[in-house]
Structure 1
Amino acid sequence: MSDKARYALEKSIPELEDLEKKGLFKRKEINMIVRRRTDFEHRIAGRGSKPADFLAYAKFEKNVDRLRAKRLARIKDHIDGAPSVSNWSIPQRILFVFQRGTNKFPSSMELWAAYLKYARKQESVKVVYDVYSKLLSLQPRNVDVWLSGAKWEFEYNKNVNGARALFKRCLRFNTEEERVWLEFLKFELNYLSKLLTRRKLLQLVSERSQLEDLQGNEAQKEVSGGENGANENENIVALNVDDDEINTDLNNLPEMNVSTLGSVEDNPVLRGDLIMAIYDVFIQTMTKRLAEPEKRERTKGLAYKVLSLVDKFDILDRTHMCDYIIQDLIQRYPEDPVCLVLQLTLPLRYVTLDDEAFVSGLQQNVKFYQAWVAKSKLSNESKEKVKEAYIKYIEERFLYHSKGEIRSLLELLTKKL
């Protein structure tokens, strides 16, 4: 037996003695556990070991711990229920198995995933931070890991700044990954939506009440962070990056740590202006190496995806953000019929057939379209394409889903157009 295997087994002696003393396992069962552990230790220490051996070892330990917990729940009224070494020794052993496995097979994502999943389940915040830090240092171009870390920071630790920092650092290593940019935008939209929803529910109207609420949240985070053994301002990973090696445009991303006090009317942050600044860098980064017409189609495709993201957050000033994106498309492609229809139908973008003002809103929009036709300097051919696209929008968005008088009105309207 190797020294490492012997050392690992000797460390489990107090735990096994405690299990027998509490009456949770009989001597015969403990001997079986020792034999299985000895076998696993030999397997993982050998030259022919595989990641599956570490996973099997961890699975065995989980089964032992599950059986221990069930027996303890059954006889807890008849024994001393005070926590002892056997309460935490097996989870610590499982984490140690995963640690050794990832050290030996650092490229095995199956091991890393199982390690993270178990650490999260045990709410071992410090271990989770360590795992992410090591994994991202080894695989800085693994987008899934970066996104997982950012999600952990935002949803579990409630650390918006930490999640945002991870997104930015991920983009430095994966500048042209479309998925990362879209997830970054989705994160910012989600955060802003939650912020406004909270203020609405708690009726935080004045800046003073908003500031008190923010300070209360910060104090609560510090307390929970101390209980979990993690600092709110602690980063999951700190990697040294040479600015010459990354896209310099990323260095110009707006700093999002700005005041979010006030209302949507008087604070551009709450209107989504900073999110639109990220959109600008996103489009520029993803299309700067492309040539026309590939650049044209790529830009339009990315803009449509961002518009679809914005559409999902109804508490935000969606019209303002959509107008910004559409105006950007119009400036780039002033004669594109699809882009022009997006601009012409923006007032109808969030109108439904059930709205009381649907008919009047539609009539106003048709007048707006007709006024545009009269003033536009585009060629007749271009105007005809815009008209076809506009009628198609009305039909697909409203006509095909309408009934009764509304349907008759829409049919007359499309014929008139």
Structure 2
Amino acid sequence: MAEKIRYYLEQQIPELQDLQKKKLFNQKEITMIMRRRTDFEHRINGRGSKPNDFLKYIQFEMILDKLRKKRLIRFKDLIDIKGTTISDYAGQRRIFFIFERGVNKYPKSMELWSGYLKYAKKNGSIKIIYETYSKLLQLQPRNINVWLSAAKYEFEKNKNIKSSRDLFKRCLRFNNDSIEVWNEFIKFELNYLSKLLIRRKLFGLISERQQIEDLSKNELNTQENIISINNEELNDELNQLPELNLSTLGTIETNPVLRGDLILTLYDVGLSTILKKTVDNNIKQDRFNKMFSFSYGIIQIIDQFEIMDRNYLLNHIIKRLIDEYPMELKIIILNLTLNLRYLKKSNDDEFVQNLQNSIKGYHAWFAKEKDNDLKMKVKLEFIKYLTDNYISNDDDDETTKLLKLLIKKI
């Protein structure tokens, strides 16, 4: 161990000599730096070392490098040496080296891995970022947070849509029963589609040629860097997924992908997978709770994307729910209030028409239903929904009067 420590310390001599030559640190400070580094090296190489020892070592080096940069700016006119020298990059290189030694010794320490990635991203070290994600995902393939972090990095920083999708699919190979992963995957696809539609609307990109040019500028589908992990066969449920890199050319009216059919496919496969993994699958209530919880979570995600045809997407989800559980109060209310969900109270004809259609739908359901207890529960919930969302004590306009009249008829 002593020889290893001596070797590491000897490698630092040229850097320290350069710092002293530039007059950024004096002899006394150089001696102190060597003493601290020697102490840290003994700590991290000892048998009783902990991940926190590496983190403290890294923190010391970061503070030291920050001080070097500040002095370099302050004394730049007094430094005779021009150009880049060893002390300009040795600090960053050493920090990466300590991180690498730390994660190799403690591969389960997420604090070390997280710090490593954060530092690499801060310094724009693309190669290290990709290598770190790849190693971490191979070591911890069931760590959902790592997969989501990698997919987010590809989408938001690199604009690499294909790579981000691939990461979600690989994540589902190991975590296909995770509601969080399915939610994030669907949110990612909605995010991508909404940004695409907003951009096309804003710049008037109508022709396919314009759209292709826009995609080439705004999506970097390069494979120079790729977060890789050993391939494994897809689960049976995931084999139902279509090829996700489908064409996004055209309009909502002409292209089902832009309308959201891919999102609905992801929802269907995700729901089937999660229900299959339900522990007490024979218990009807447990199965309903899982189904409703997952479905309503997706509905709340869809709520956030105004540019999408949200009624179209929700209609598919609610139909799936009501086909299987036609007597559940929560689902009935969702169905009866669907065409009001995104409608704000106003005095225009559209609001009044949708309101009347919704109430007509309620009356049609009420006339057909034979369970009196359920009818009473639905009646109370439906009135509560209308009152909570559209009636205020301060309002006394014509629409409010009409709404109150309609509620009385209910």
TM-score w.r.t. length of structure 2: 0.92
Specify the alignment match of 2:102 in structure 1.
101
- 1:251 alignment partner, one of 239, 242, 258: 239
RMSD over aligned Cα atoms: 2.0
TM-fit CA distance, 1:413: 2.1
Deviations 1:107-157 (A, max 9, x none): 111111111111111111111111111111111111111111111111111
Map residues 299-310 of structure 1 onto 2, 5 A cutoff. Answer: 299-310=291-302
- What is aligned with 2:200? 199
Q: Which residue of 1 aligns with 2:352?
A: 359
Following superposition, the deviation at residue 252 of structure 1 comes to 1.8
1:382 shift after superposition = 4.1
Q: Determine if contact 1:162/1:234 at 8 Å carries over to the other structure.
A: no
2:124 is the alignment partner of 1:133: no
Partner of 1:77, secondary structure, is coil
Alignment of 1:6-405 (within 5 A): 6-79=6-79, 80=81, 82-218=83-219, 221=220, 232=223, 234-241=225-232, 243=233, 247-288=235-276, 289=278, 290-291=281-282, 292-354=284-346, 356=348, 357-374=350-367, 376=368, 378-400=370-392, 403-405=395-397
Conservation of the 8 A alpha-carbon contact between 1:58 and 1:94: yes
User: How many residues end up aligned between the 2 structures?
Assistant: 403
CA distance in structure 2 between the partners assigned to 1:401 and 1:249 by the alignment = 51
Distance 1:265 1:355, change over 3 A: farther
Please give the alpha-carbon distance, in whole angstroms, between the structure 2 residues aligned to 1:341 and 1:233: 51
Asked whether the equivalents of residues 130 and 227 of structure 2 are also in contact (C-alpha less than 8 Å), the reply is: yes
| Deviation (angstroms), 1:355 | 6.4
Normalised to the residue count of structure 1, the TM-score between the two structures is 0.91
CA distance in 1, matches of 2:224, 2:94: 29
Distance 2:86 2:393 in 1: 66
Identical residues among aligned pairs (%): 52
Partner of 1:76, secondary structure, is coil
State the distance in 1 between where 2:389 and 2:226 align.
Answer: 46
Please say if residues 347 and 365 of structure 1, whose CA atoms lie closer than 8 Å, have aligned partners that are also in contact.
yes
Show CA shifts across 1:31-82 (max 9, x none).
1111111111122111121111111111110011010011111122343452
CA distance in 2, matches of 1:407, 1:396: 12
Tell me whether 385-394 or 60-69 shows the greater mean CA deviation: 385-394
Contact 2:147 2:168 in 1 (8 A): yes
SS of the equivalent of 2:237 reads helix
Q: Distance in 1 between matches of 2:357 and 2:345?
A: 15
> Which stretch shifts more, 12-21 or 67-76?
12-21
Which moved further from structure 2: 117-126 or 400-409?
Answer: 400-409
Q: Tell me if the contact between 1:157 and 1:232 (Cα under 8 Å) persists in the aligned partners.
A: no
- Give the aligned partner of residue 227 of structure 1: none
Q: Compute the displacement of 1:201 (Å).
A: 1.9
Quote the Cα distance in structure 1 between the aligned partners of 2:363 and 2:108: 62
Conserved? CA contact 1:151–1:163, under 8 Å: yes
- Does the residue aligned with 2:77 lie in a helix, a strand or coil? helix
What is the rounded CA distance, in whole Å, between the counterparts of 1:52 and 1:216 in structure 2?
A: 44
Task: Name the SS of the counterpart of 1:210 in structure 2.
Answer: helix
Which is worse superposed, 264-273 or 197-206?
A: 197-206
On the 8 A contact 1:162/1:233 being kept in 2, the answer is no
Q: Structure 1 stretch 405-414 or stretch 274-283: which is displaced more?
A: 405-414
Amino acid corresponding to residue 183 of structure 1 in structure 2: E
1:84 Cα deviation from its structure 2 partner? 2.0
- 1:322-364 CA-to-partner distances (Å, cap 9, x unmatched) read 1110111121122333323322222111100146332343233
CA distance in 2, matches of 1:46, 1:135: 25
